[in-house]
Amino acid sequence: MKNLSVVKASHGRAFAVRAGDHIRIATPAGTQVSDTWAFAANDLHEHLSMDHTRSVNSNIFVDLGTRLVSNHRRLMMTVVEDTTPGHHDTLLCPCSSEIYRELGGPADHRSCTGNLHDALDEIGLKVSFTPASLNLFMNVPVASDGSVDRLPPRSVAGDSVVLRAEMDLTLVISACPQDITPINGDARTPTDLHIEIWPGDAS
- Give the number of domains in the chain: 1
Q: Is residue 49 part of a domain?
A: yes
pLDDT reported for residue 200: 85
Nearest to 99 by CA among 150, 57, 143: 150
47 phi and psi, to 5 degrees?
A: -140, 160
Overall average pLDDT of the 17-36 stretch: 98
Q: Is residue 44 part of a domain?
A: yes
Structural domain boundaries, residue 92:
3-198
Q: Is residue 203 part of a domain?
A: no
pLDDT reported for residue 169: 98
Residues 6+ apart with CB under 8 A from 79: 62, 63, 64, 65, 66, 68, 161, 162, 163
For residue 91, how many other CB atoms are within 10 A of its CB?
Answer: 14
Overall average pLDDT of the 133-150 stretch: 97
